[in-house]
Amino acid sequence: MHGLSRDGTVGVTVDLAGYIDHTLLKQDATAKDIQCLCGEAVAYHFASVCVNPCRVRMAADFLKGSSVKVCTVIGFPLGANETETKAFEARKAIEAGADELDMVLNIGLLKDGKEEFVRKDITAVVQVAKERGAIVKVILETCLLTRDEKSRACGLCKEAGADYVKTSTGFSASGATVEDVELLRREVGADMGVKASGGIRTRQQALDMIHHGATRIGTSSGIAIVQS
């Protein structure tokens, strides 16, 4: 997918489009906006579109027959829903056509030390997804966590069987950083994906994230990134 230059930076052979979840999660996004998003994803060969749950069916219908996946969000953006609600939301999203689920970790309960609850919360969504052939990315909201909490969260995601850890919702105090991507990659190892999301608007930012371990990029600036 990509090559490294002699100085260790990601080379120009990176297929950035293949890393990008083309994202539109604004609450005022219209049907026309979603159709435009899907058309752009097909035209630029992005990995997926990431839309709110109520737009999954529309996106799935538009993208039918294409290689672009449909991604949606669960327990978004706070992660504070009941576990049963997250599992129900996950099932409904997959039934509507979602291939990938980006669920938000219960951040407050992680901070309370309720690790067993947090693990079960993730596991409930993972079980629904695995039974139906979907993948799960767990959003940690790294800007709200200490280094130790990030490490603990990664461990819980691994134990629960999640496919990815993801830095951010894009709706909190700040988004992805190279340091956090590097930390998440180190914690989850080579067998899980790392999605960098939040504030990634330039090609160089995307390349830096990939160089430090990201295997997916969540952004609403995908076209600007691949055209630059």
Please compute the mean of the pLDDT values over residues 106-111 and round it to a whole number: 98
* Maximal CA-CA distance, the chain: 50
Stated length of the chain: 228
| Sign of the dihedral through C-alpha 202, 198, 13, 213 | positive
- How confident is the model over 20-51, as pLDDT tens digits? 999 999 999 999 999 999 999 999 999 999 99
This prediction's pTM? 0.93
Residue 135 · residue 99 · CB < 8 Å: yes
- What is the average pLDDT score of the chain? 94
Beta pairing class for 100-104 and 216-219: unpaired
> Position of tokens 């067993």?
116
Token digits of residue 190: 């080579």
Would you say residue 164 has pLDDT above 70? Answer: yes
Residue 168 · residue 175 · CB < 8 Å: yes
Q: How far apart are CA 113 and CA 135, in angstroms?
A: 26
User: Is 99 considered catalytic here?
Assistant: no
User: Is 111 considered catalytic here?
Assistant: no
Q: How far apart are CA 53 and CA 89, in angstroms?
A: 8
Give me the catalytic one of 121, 166, 180, 208.
166
Give me the catalytic one of 69, 137, 150, 195.
195
Would you say residue 119 has pLDDT above 70? Answer: yes
Give me the catalytic one of 69, 86, 99, 102.
102
Would you say residue 12 has pLDDT above 70? Answer: no
- How confident is the model over 186-201, as pLDDT tens digits? 999 999 999 999 999 9
How many other C-beta atoms can be found within 10 angstroms of the C-beta atom of residue 30? 10
Q: How far apart are CA 133 and CA 140, in angstroms?
A: 23
* Distance, CA of 156 to chain centre: 17
Would you say residue 11 has pLDDT above 70? Answer: no
- Domain 16-222: CATH architecture, name and number where available: Alpha-Beta Barrel (3.20)
Beta pairing class for 164-166 and 216-219: unpaired
